[in-house]
């Protein structure tokens, strides 16, 4: 298979590509307002909302590591695919910060790449989440570029085994038997009227990972709901932590099964906010490590896209 064309050189050789898509994050505190405005569809946040979000980034060191981690994931995935005999350039496209999905897809067309596999770095499908990433890519896709997408991978064995391994490592830090909470990002409740598979997929992957880790006592909670008037999926993480304390639990492990990298929703919403609540409740709280660019997780991603790349070659 030919190597990748040099950027901006449409006369170069054609090749295959993988587009890794993630939510995005501001690189510096100065970028937070522009980032927040993009999330809000062009509406600037109020000074109060902006100050609150900047405060959250300050609490985790001034920036999110999401961009850096996603780039590491892309580099590791490209290397793993090469080990499997697949020469594919792995690119990163973000939904709400540079490099934007549309710009990366357009660049693939400029480089005369003919075939690409799109993979959103979120295991569970929803029309509002994964579907929106795919729509962004499709709107920008030139006619010369064939794209296929991995829409859902909540039940992929490699993902589940890697999740169970991290869960087991965290459980082993306790002398008592902790209760396990699997968390995922809340979405508006209106998705339920569409028969959206998201809640069932979250629970399904949680059940599978719990089984692999030998965990009998577990539940699912949603976190990081948006600041809108409409109702969001529940139960909310904070509500469940209070309920567990009332039921006599004293130790809880949070496994953020809906996320695959350290970022604000993990480093602040769990490590700062949920930890503070747990201390007030008298709960001992620990979180499983995120997969980031760990070899077992990258192997699962490689398995997800390798079959699609091979199909395109045929």
The predicted model gives 232-248 an average pLDDT of 97
229 neighbors 181 (Cβ within 8 angstroms): no
The predicted model gives 34-54 an average pLDDT of 96
CA–CA distance, 220 with 58 (Å, rounded to integer): 29
Residue 313: the pLDDT is 52
Q: Are residues 170 and 76 in the same domain?
A: no
Determine, yes or no, domain membership for 136: yes
Q: Are residues 302 and 250 in the same domain?
A: no
- Is pLDDT at 227 greater than 90 in this prediction? no
Q: How confident is the model at residue 311 (pLDDT cuts 50, 70, 90)?
A: confident
CA–CA distance, 107 with 101 (Å, rounded to integer): 10
Would you state the structure tokens that stand for residue 116, as one six-digit string? 């690409």
Determine, yes or no, domain membership for 2: no
Residue 118 belongs to domain with CATH number: 3.40.50.1400
pTM: 0.92
CA–CA distance, 25 with 60 (Å, rounded to integer): 13
What lies within 8 Å, CB to CB, of 115 at 6+ separation is 16, 17, 145, 146, 147, 309, 312
Determine, yes or no, domain membership for 6: no
The predicted model gives 262-288 an average pLDDT of 98
- Is pLDDT at 289 greater than 60 in this prediction? yes
Q: Are residues 128 and 277 in the same domain?
A: no
Residue 283: the pLDDT is 98
Closest of 265, 199, 198, 236 to residue 24, by C-alpha: 265
Average predicted confidence (pLDDT) for the chain:
93
CA–CA distance, 71 with 292 (Å, rounded to integer): 10
Which of 42-73 are b and which e, b meaning 16 or more Cβ less than 10 Å from the residue's Cβ? Answer: eeebeeeeeeebbebbeebeebbbbbbbbbbb
Number of folded domains in the chain?
2
Determine, yes or no, domain membership for 130: yes
Q: Are residues 172 and 273 in the same domain?
A: yes
Determine, yes or no, domain membership for 111: yes
Q: Are residues 106 and 31 in the same domain?
A: yes
Residue 112: the pLDDT is 87
Determine, yes or no, domain membership for 1: no
Determine, yes or no, domain membership for 4: no
Q: Are residues 55 and 129 in the same domain?
A: yes
Q: Are residues 150 and 251 in the same domain?
A: no
Residue 310: the pLDDT is 77
Q: Are residues 298 and 281 in the same domain?
A: no
Determine, yes or no, domain membership for 82: yes
42 neighbors 141 (Cβ within 8 angstroms): no
The residue whose two tokens read 């395109």 is 312
Say how many C-beta atoms besides its own lie within 10 A of residue 123's C-beta.
24
Q: Are residues 150 and 277 in the same domain?
A: no
The residue whose two tokens read 């030139």 is 142
Can the peptide bond before residue 235 be classed as cis, meaning omega within 30 degrees of 0? yes
Q: Are residues 161 and 88 in the same domain?
A: no
Domain that holds residue 304: 16-154+294-313
Q: Are residues 242 and 309 in the same domain?
A: no
Q: Are residues 164 and 192 in the same domain?
A: yes
């Amino acid at each position: 298979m030919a190597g990748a064309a040099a950027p901006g050189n449409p006369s170069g050789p054609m090749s295959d590509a993988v587009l890794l898509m993630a939510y995005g994050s501001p690189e510096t505190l100065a970028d937070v307002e522009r980032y927040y405005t993009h999330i809000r569809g062009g509406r600037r946040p109020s000074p109060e909302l902006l100050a609150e979000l900047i405060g959250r980034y300050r609490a985790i060191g001034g920036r999110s590591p999401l961009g850096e981690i996603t780039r590491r994931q892309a580099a590791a995935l490209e290397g793993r695919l090469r080990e499997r005999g697949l020469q594919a350039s792995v690119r990163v496209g973000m939904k709400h910060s540079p490099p934007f999905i549309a710009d990366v897809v357009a660049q693939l067309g400029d480089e005369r790449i003919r075939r690409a596999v799109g993979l959103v770095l979120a295991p569970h499908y929803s029309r509002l989440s994964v579907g929106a990433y795919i729509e962004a890519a499709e709107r920008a896709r030139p006619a010369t570029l064939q794209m296929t997408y991995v829409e859902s991978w909540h039940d992929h064995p490699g993902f589940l085994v890697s999740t169970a391994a991290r869960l087991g490592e965290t459980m082993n830090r306790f002398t008592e038997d902790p209760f396990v909470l699997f968390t995922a990002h809340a979405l508006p409740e209106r998705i339920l009227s569409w028969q959206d598979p998201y809640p069932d997929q979250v629970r399904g992957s949680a059940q599978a990972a719990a089984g692999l880790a030998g965990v009998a006592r577990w539940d699912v909670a949603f976190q990081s709901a948006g600041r809108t008037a409409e109702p969001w999926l529940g139960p909310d993480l904070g509500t469940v932590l209070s309920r567990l304390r009332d039921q006599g639990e004293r130790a809880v492990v949070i496994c953020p099964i809906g996320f695959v990298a350290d970022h604000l929703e993990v480093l602040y919403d769990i490590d700062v906010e949920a930890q503070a609540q747990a201390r007030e409740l008298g709960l001992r709280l620990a979180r499983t490590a995120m997969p980031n660019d760990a070899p077992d997780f990258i192997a699962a991603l490689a398995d997800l896209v390798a079959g699609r790349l091979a199909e395109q070659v045929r």
